[in-house]
Every structure is written in structure tokens, then in C-alpha cells.
Amino acid sequence: MNLTRNRLTAATGACAAAAGAIFVGVQINHPPADLAHIVTTDVFVREVAKIAMGILAMAGFTGIFIRHHRRFGVLGRAGYALLMTGYLAMFAVETIVAVILPKLAESNPVYVQHFLDAAMGASATSDLGHVKELFMLMGLGYAVGGLLFGIAMYRARVVARWAAALFAYGTVSALALAFLPESFSRPFAVPTGVALIGLGYSMWRQSQTRTDVVRPARAAEPAVA
């Protein structure tokens, strides 16, 4: 079976939509980011889901970028690079939360709580080492990269414009979480999740309406005397 651009576009859409659905789903009844919950199965399952979300989202962004990179320009390329950096950092943070922090919770509870606080946007009150740079990359890549990439998609008209606009808004609005209580972080994630679903559906529709398989040219008919 030949792998056509349409199949790649459909796969891109499916990845982005699945990432959005997971991003919204994990916010429902999400427990607080504290020591009491970090060792629970509930948090572990949610973190594994977030790791999967990050992988699916990066696959979706890459598919959109590759399909339409000629129409993005410098803004889109910069936004894509920043966004991928942010999601790679997010992937690393979620992996640390899922795998490493539960093992440290008993031996070094202060560090674990400070890590969780910093991950939620609060100022770190202790030395977290190079994790601070990881949080900075995650925050700037997610917010600024999402804003630039969303604007580039909106201007290029390569996906549904409402989804591109909502994605730009949803990602950059996360910067406000540094000044808001933790309870705001869950509803603030919903617009980005909905936007990802919209971007994914838009890409899937493109795979249904465009034909990218090159058909062989018909042989020329002999001229009639």
C-alpha cells in the first residue's frame, strides 16, 4: 500500500485531535499538585496520558508544518521551532513527575514539593538545579511558540482559522498562570485542547477533500489522417 500525502495528513489530524482530547480529559477532577497525590495511581495514569499527549501533539504540529511549510514564512518557522522546544521540555517534565518524583517523595519531600510548585508556575523557593532552565523552556516554548505558530496558521489559512486563533489564545494565556492560583491551571488548558481537536479535524478534512496521488498520464492517441 502506497503511503500518500493524504494518508499522512489524515494521520496528522488524528494525532492532533487525540492530543487535544487527552489534554482536556486529564484536566477533569485533576488532583492538586502536592505530595499527598504525587504517589497515587491516579496521578501516575494522568502523567502517562500527558506524556502520550505531548508525543501526539508534536507529531500533529510536525505534520501541519511539513504539509504547509512554504506558506508559513519566518514567523511560522520560528513558532514551530519554539513550540517543539516547549513540548519537548514538557515531555521531559511530565516524565520526571511520573517516574522520578514518586520515588523521591519519601526521601526528599521538600524538593518534590518545590518542583511541583515550580512546574505549576510558582517561583521556586529552593535550588532546583538545571530544572529551572527546563521550566523556562517549557513555558516560553508553549506560550510564545504557540502564539507565533497559531498566528502563522491563521494568516496562512492552512487550517480552520477559528482553531488557529483559539490555539494562539489558549497557549499565550498560560503566561497569566504565574499570577493566579493553581486552580486556574485546569480551565486554562481547555481552550488549547479544544483548539488541537479543531486543528486535527481540519487536517483530516483536508485529507478527504484533496487528491495528492499523481495519476499516470494517458498515452497520446495517434492522429487521424
The pLDDT tens digits for 123-179 are 655 677 778 889 889 999 999 999 999 999 999 998 999 999 999 999 999 888 777
In a domain, 194, yes or no: yes
Question: For residue 179, which of 167, 166, 192, 188 has the smallest C-alpha distance?
Answer: 188
Mean pLDDT of 40-53: 94
Q: In this predicted structure, what is the pLDDT of residue 153?
A: 94
In a domain, 167, yes or no: yes
- Domain range spanning residue 167? 5-208
In a domain, 102, yes or no: yes
Whole-angstrom distance, CA of residue 89 vs CA of residue 54 = 10
Amino acid at 211: T
In a domain, 217, yes or no: no
The pLDDT tens digits for 72-100 are 989 999 999 999 999 999 999 999 999 99
In a domain, 225, yes or no: no
Q: Is the pLDDT of residue 223 over 60?
A: no
Q: Name the grid cell of 96.
A: 520526571
In a domain, 213, yes or no: no
Please tell me the pTM assigned to this model.
0.84
Of 112 and 2, more confident: 112
The pLDDT tens digits for 18-45 are 999 999 999 998 888 888 889 899 999 9
Q: Which residues, in sequence order, are CB contacts of 37 under 8 Å at separation 6+?
A: 31, 43
DSSP letter at 218 equals P
Q: Is 171 within 8 Å of 141 (Cβ atoms)?
A: no
> How many domains, the chain?
1
140 burial level (CB within 10 Å; 0-12, 13-18, 19+): middle
Residue that the C-alpha cell 504557540 belongs to = 146
What values do phi and psi take at 41, rounded to 5? -65, -35
Residue that the C-alpha cell 506524556 belongs to = 51
In a domain, 92, yes or no: yes
Q: In this predicted structure, what is the pLDDT of residue 122?
A: 65
C-alpha separations of 69 from 38, 65, 80, 224 in Å: 40, 5, 10, 47
In a domain, 215, yes or no: no
Q: Is 150 within 8 Å of 164 (Cβ atoms)?
A: yes
